[in-house]
Amino acid sequence: MSTDPVAISKILPEGTAGFVDHIGIAVRDMDESIALYRDLLGLELELLEEVPSENIQVAFLKLDRGGALGHVELLAPLSNEGNIAAFIEKKGPGLHHIAFAAENIETVLERCREAGMRLLDEKPRTGARGKQIAFLHPKSGGGVLIEICRDPED
Ligand code: ZN
């Protein structure tokens, strides 16, 4: 059960997931990708950091126009090791995950668990920007890797 991606809208607690926090994109070349999103598309580069535990470099670019706020997260492997390198090897660069903001990740994970969904993270962990994050398995997300992250407003 629970391979229906629509189910996620019922699982995320009401009122806590009003927006997509960011869209994660796996890239081969960080400089080229920043040139695309910042220099051509006009997003603001907010953060560029290495996440050694994941063997990746991460860039967060902010979309901020008329009060609508969102981010694009670029994920570039630092070597041939790790999940992002494996993803690019298998599928090529491109859309990697979609992240929903939630007030309480534990609550979301508990609801997903009760619904029989597969979790990649049993507990929230610290990701880029020092934010608490957890991933659901793409098999339970209709083929989409779904990240739940803590609302930056908190
Ligand atoms: Zn992410």
Q: Is residue 4 part of a domain?
A: no
Q: Is residue 2 part of a domain?
A: no
CA-to-CA distance for 124 and 153, rounded, in angstroms? 17
User: Which residues fall inside 5 Å of ion ligand 1, going by CB?
Assistant: 24, 73, 99, 147
Whole-number Å distance, alpha carbon 96 to ligand 1 midpoint, is 9
Q: Is residue 8 part of a domain?
A: no
User: In the chain, pLDDT over 70 holds for what percent of residues?
Assistant: 82
The distance from CA 44 to its chain's CA centroid, rounded to whole angstroms, is 18
**Residue 110 domain boundaries:** 14-150
pTM: 0.84
Q: Is residue 99 part of a domain?
A: yes
Whole-number Å distance, alpha carbon 134 to ligand 1 midpoint, is 9
The pLDDT score that the predictor gives to residue 4 is: 54
Q: What is the mean pLDDT of the chain?
A: 86
Q: Is residue 9 part of a domain?
A: no
Q: Which helix (H) or strand (E) holds 81?
A: none
- pLDDT category at 58 given cuts 50, 70, 90 is very high
Whole-number Å distance, alpha carbon 2 to ligand 1 midpoint, is 22
Q: Say if residue 146's pLDDT is above 80.
A: yes
